[in-house]
Chain A
Amino acid sequence: MPAPLLEASGITKSFAGVRALRGVSFELRGGEVHALIGENGAGKSTLIKVMAGAVTADAGTLRVSGEVVPRNDPAMARALGIAVIYQQPALFPHLTVAENIALALEPGGIWRTVDWRARERRAKELIDRAGATIQVDRLVSTLSMPEQQVVEIAKAIGAEAKVVIMDEPTASLTETEVSSLFRVIGALKNVGAGVIYISHRLEEISAIADRITVLRDGESIGTCEASAVGREQLIAMMVGREVAAVYPKRAVPIGEVAMELRGVGNRGAGLRGVSLHVRQGEIFGIAGLVGSGRTQLAETVFGLTPADSGEIVLDGAVVGIESPADAIACGIGYVPEDRRQHGVVLELPIAANVTLSSLDAVSSFGMIDRGAERALAQRYVERLRVKTPSVDATAGTLSGGNQQKVALARWLATKPKVLILDEPTQGVDVGSKAEIHGIMMDLAAGGMAIVMISSELPEVLGMSDRILVMHAGTVAGELTRAEATQEKILTLALGHAL
């Protein structure tokens, strides 16, 4: 038996102390489609980045056709015939199709003259081989997403890539586009190339893949023949994460409905008919894969991208939310996902960050009372145990966990009735994580309704009273704490019925 086309063994990679991959082994044979599946954060993206030379592994070896890859960089990966087609094609929008393909294939050199005729001929031939018809003198910015993917595939064919890695290629494709993509994949197989195929769509995988490898928490759980496994088996392999941490969940009195959504939709954000309700004292978990519309839902409720259909009901009254200011006035708080980008203003002191959304509370006649501001900030810094020498220190000097607490403090200072937390513990250390969970529980006990968006299934299961699962911009199902399991959540999140 010949050596596998691509063989990764014992690949380990850490980012800032977090282990993304722990000794993953993976093998791709010529002429096969090998699917790579796993939950959010299982390590799929990191693994393909290592194969593409975009990140360097801490340990482990990569072999191509039996030869150890000496250097881990993108140029080497390209020279070895590894091509990656990312979900968002990486093309130059202001150049034509032919120029984009030429940039990838023609040799460099400043004084080289361009044979435009030959360039277009070659581009046309490669697009043909990819099984599509696109005029090669069109600007890439005028192409649809699937057409851009075809250009990427044409580049890969032109580079005579032996290994083609596709990261969720069908995420933005229609059904007919998917079937034409599958024809191209078939063509790649026929010329002996290997395809690594990443997708959340299990039907697609059983239709196209020869073998399937499941990743979980940075480890490879197993590789099996696609024909030999069923959906339930795959889901069981994908979850099964141990709920090792102890969550400070306790029973608190549940009150009236604090917020209700009735068929809320937002065409721009891809949301359709979302209905849900949250009660006072409840922690309401929202689960779903990346791209399922969880964050878009939060942004819609918070007025960042106002809803275009449906009703939002707070305390029994329909409210119109057109801006974050409206949402804050209605008693909604929102701690966004990416703290450094959106949560805290790094250049402002902690005190100013805490009061940024509730300046009225510390001002009279529009004038900020600095004493009152510092006192308020001090109170929250103590209550949330933010580790800082002073409330006058800038937010940029804090660690990730403490920045998250400051973002949280800002919203607590507005005394919200409904608090939406998007990935509240992502990227924070274990100690801060437990503290944030404790704070959430205290807030719920105080009668606040908490909506928690999280990709971490144990956290969702450990903290929520009820769990809403989203898929493709709408509600896939709702589970009570008692009936929810990791398998059920993932089945719904993948778009299947229970």
Chain B
Amino acid sequence: MTDAPSPSLPAAGMWQAMRGLVARDLRLALRRRADPLSVLVFFVLVASLFPLGVGPEPELLRAMGPGVVFVAALLAAMLSLGRMFADDFHDGTLEQLLLSACPLPLLVAAKILAHWICSGLLLALVSPLLALQFDLGAVATGVLLLALLVVTPLLSLIGAVGAALTVGVRGAAVLMPLLILPLCVPALIFGTAAVEASRSGMETMGHFSLLGAFLVLALVGTPWATATALRIALE
């Protein structure tokens, strides 16, 4: 360490801090591919066990397919949510997030976005493969994909609150699903209902409107709730 004159550095705005955080988390996921991949494999495995377990009756499989895929996505999301803030908490970078020049809710939103890209988005993208197993048909598969694209960000947003509330708590792996799963029930119901409706040739717009409303509500509320929970957790 020498006393050479320090460079005067340009200030970084909020967007740059957020973009930097998303890029950091995505880079971390790329370096530790086992984490996102294990979530994906879990999702595919759970959904694949059902056809094997209940037998090969096409009508039964078609009827339970959407529900199984959604429940599997929900469980897979629980698997990945536990690590959302826990890693940052243990290596001390969470404190740096709290002391950032960027408002904490925005940073939290950036972390949620990165989490969704590494988990929810992947789950949604492989869901057509699972729909094939349940013989859902082209239209229902499309609706399933769309519904998952709306439901999975919702899971990441709601899950962030639970992850923040249980950060640093012993038994967080059990406590967090207990907190989160009841809150995810509406997403599960309307997501499945949308696919069911399309299967029986009915209008799906109503279900998507409700899911969209949930998503907007969560987008506005959960980053703030998560930020507050993190501040309390680090006291």
The answer on A and B forming one complex is no
